[in-house]
Amino acid sequence: MPIRLLYCDSSLVVCEKPVGVSSESPGLPDLIRGQEGFDVFPAHRLDRTTGGVCVLARTPSACAALQRLFQRDKVTKEYLAVVSGVPETAAGAFSDLLYHDPRTNKTFVADRPRKGVKEAFCEWEVLESAEAPEGILTLVRVRLHTGRTHQIRVQFASRRMPLAGDRRYGSRVRADAPALWAARISFPHPFSADKAVDAASLPPAAFPWTLFKSVSLGDDSV
């Protein structure tokens, strides 16, 4: 399938990354180069198993400028996730210390600051709950304020609400991939003060997304 471009100009590209494709080369940059005929550089990273909105730069200077926006929390990142169970409240926030072990490619919640431990913060709200063969599943919208490896997956799993299909973090729900989708991203254009970029994407029409009525599925904007 061709890579769907959501926004493109001389400085950057916002596209819909497919599940199973790396954000880095070899992966998404190579697919875009083959499709569009120009080089791109990843400005941030989505897990291989996470699909949705992804930002790439067309020049090294644009990549550096975009990365500064991410580092300064100038980028609004919204995800959709399907978690096991039902959160105790309709909305909330998670603040944790996370440590990623590169040997096992797994992230853990740490009990104190130490080398390699980073702060992680997100806000979330419940959209809908539905019954599945393995129990109740809940669709949540998550606003990510930091970009730690496996952050959303670990923050919910550590509270006994693993993402559906995320066997690495304890899910017993059968799905092709962890139910996490980068649904929207918005940020000021790095080189145009009066311009902003806002792009959205929807999860595929597949389980467990098809359990929920509060989000449309397919190729339309959120």
Residue 14 has which token pair?
């916002």
Sole residue written with tokens 């980068």: 182
Query: In the annotation, is 47 catalytic?
Result: yes
CA-wise closest residue to 123 among 149, 144, 147? 144
Selecting among 47, 111, 176, 198, the annotated active-site residue is 47
CA-wise closest residue to 208 among 123, 84, 88? 84
Residue type, 76: T
- Rounded Cα distance, 201 and 56, in Å: 16
Q: H/E element holding 33? A: helix 28-36
Catalytic residue set: 47
